[in-house]
Chain A
Amino acid sequence: MKLRRPKYLVETPTSAMNDIAFILIVFFLVCASVEPEDGRSQVIPRSEKNEDRQTSQSTEVGLTPATVTIDGTPYRLNEFQSRIRQILAQKKTEAERVVVLKSQADVPYEHWIAMTGIIERAGGIVTLLLEEEQTVNLN
């Protein structure tokens, strides 16, 4: 008597491949599009306008990595918030509420963003005071 060997299925089932591939496409697309975008908008006046705005009425805030000053007077970080609110509450016009921010070169971004956040929440308009390098030829 001849015994027949049974035929096994040796082919890989390919019908599910489409679904797998499309799910992978969706997965990669979703991964690629998830980038953080939440944050805070900030209006910084154009530099040419700044010169007009920097009048004696505007408040000057100085930033170093550890301290913060208002018109030259140093404040602790917890005092700064209440003091800047107090000062800006007295200002009536937009031009008066301009706060000139002068940062030392080594101020980290995290500190800068926290301090400008306080100023803006207090109603101030932040404008930057940057140091410019100039070459002067002496004869």
Chain B
Amino acid sequence: MTKARKSSRDGRTRAAPPAGRGGGRQLGRQWGGRAWRLALLLGGVLLGLLVPWVAYLDHQVRTEFEGRKWDLPSRVFARSLDLYPGAPLSLKDLEVELRVSGYHRVDQAARPGQYRVSGSTAEIHRRPFEFPDAAEAAQRIEVRFAGPSIARVRDAQQGADLDLARLDPAEIASIYPLQKEDRTLVDIEQVPPLLVTGLQAVEDRHFKQHPGVDLSGIARAALANLKAGRAVQGGSTLTQQLVKNFFLTQDRTFIRKFNEALMALLLEYHYDKAEILEAYLNEVFLGQQGAYAVHGFGRASLFYFDQPLERLEPQQIALLIGVVRGPSYYNPRKHPQRARERRDQVLNMFAETGLLTAAEAQAARAAPLGVSETPRTHGSRYHAFIDLVRGQLAQVYREEDLRSEGLRIFTTLSPSEQEKAQAAVSDGLRALADRGLPATLQGALVLADVASGEVRALVGDRDGSRAGFNRALHARRQIGSVVKPLVYLLALEHEADYNLLTRIEDAPLTLRQADGTNWQPANYDGVSHGEVTLLEALTQSYNQATVRLGLNIGVNHLLERLRQLGVDAAVDAVPSVFLGAVELTPLEVTQIYQSLAAAGYSVPLRSVIAVQTAEGDELVRYPLRMLPQPRREAISVLNYALTQVVEQGTASRLPGLLGSDAIVAGKTGTTNDRRDSWFVGYTRSRIAVAWVGDDDNRPAGVTGSNAAMHIWAGLFRQLPLEPVDLRMPDGAFWLWVDPASGRLSAERCGGAVQLPYVEGSEPREASDCLAAAREQDKESIWRKLFGKKQ
């Protein structure tokens, strides 16, 4: 503009009349000619400037439109729940799962996303969902329960029994773009037609005809505004609004408007109406959820109604269209009355333009707003688990891709088990405080599926809503006696020297340490127990016996075994390692014990199963892969010994806490000065590690059995307790033996017990009872043979 003014001044200078020439008419003609020339010149100059300006805007708007890379948050899903007869799931658990998945309990499950319960039967109207392996349509599934498990599954529509069905997984978190936008893309082909036509009826009636700018619309708006004496109508077309949204500016200057209009014309020149409308549907700002801006109708539908766009009723579509004008002013949760008036206004326009009949519009006006009470919040309850997911994905993806590519991440989390795990930690620590332990104690809990290594729940803080230090992943603490089973495992691998009844010495010992001081490990009860069996030493967690055994094995062998079991921590090769002077996280301890619980079939713990693009194409899958441990027969024998820790050892109070005699394996752990309390335990299907301690590593008065075991029991009281698998693999077997002498015995001999042995470690000598029984058998065979002959 400055240049243009300068040019016109130049023109005037050049056109200045020579002094004393010509009269008034001449002057007039002269001026007329000059004005003409001036206009031409001006026009030329303007055009010369406008062309590059337009070219510049054209480049900008096309780059924005074509290169538009909407940053889409990644969606994180829980595991999908399989429903089949016999599945260990109660109606109560199912309801937790449904609630987390955003299902609504109603009297008639008429629409997907609803369910009803009558007696011990639930009817679920399952939503359609693209599972990682296949897409499944909406389905009405009836599930009948018999106590803690599913008795029958039926297709409620067709009445046929189903062998297997599944629920769409709960969306448990979103990993948002850094600029904090939340968006779910929609395809114009798939949005309800009423949204497409209704939007035009309300915002831009000439959308189909105008070239990007609607002069008649502007005139009409100007007139309306003039009449009202204030701005009541906007003349912007949808295209102009889209441009405005692209460049996100509140600047309302003339220049800005002019640029917007120009860009709108350019957009229309390059792209067709459908493309522009689709971009609009995905771009327009429709609300604010905390720090996240809700963009586009796809997300707005979930945000306001907890329903996908294609399932909205006319009045809900009308509300969304109404909100376009002012998402904050017409916020239906904050200003329901105002929003309702606006919605009804929109419904009237629908009727006016024939999109709805008068009767339909009236029915729609009569309907309530239908906005869900609170928008579904993601992540607040699951951030500890999401930390683990991010950790696993960080090996493959950059943080910015997780935040922008709209990935669909399928995880292993079980929402109902997570809820139970968090309650076990929170309630358990409160109960411990009531019993006199410090109220500031913290806790962590990891729950995984034994065979698959899939992490089902993870708790990193006593307060589940607090996102901060995640103790399950990051609290590196001494593990105490939790390490001992590995010392005994190594002994059992030496089948020529050890079996569970081998006697070892539990007596004081003094070891000289590297710094010249002496180390004299003591037992927890302060007493040395003399000669004890391996089994006793382990189940009673005797320190002196364990250190002696360890010294025979060698500390380096133990460290090597830890590495084989997946622990990659730097550990000093000193004898105190035998008593757990190893600092590990609860997650690492879970990995070690998963191998034991799965009878030596190690599986790397997993929190992610598959990752897909926003379009549903598989990017990566983390399949079940087994890494078998060496000497699995010794692991199976050890498993039995760990069930005896619960049966008769340091965890003997566990069955009482669980209220069950199911065969469970476990190990307690306590560290020096009662700083850390550990409990590791497993059933046939689930393994969990619980830790309790003080964040500053102060003495906390805790032991494995007085703190962590209570939390573990608090969780497993609520889970199905499948007995530990005690079948021996090749290379190990069960024998009847006499526990006092360690010799072979028989079932009928008094005091005989059945114990597992690694092949080659079994006793050869028979007990007196067995020897006598064999003699008897021989005689009886002779008698039978003799008898027959007679």
A-B interaction: no
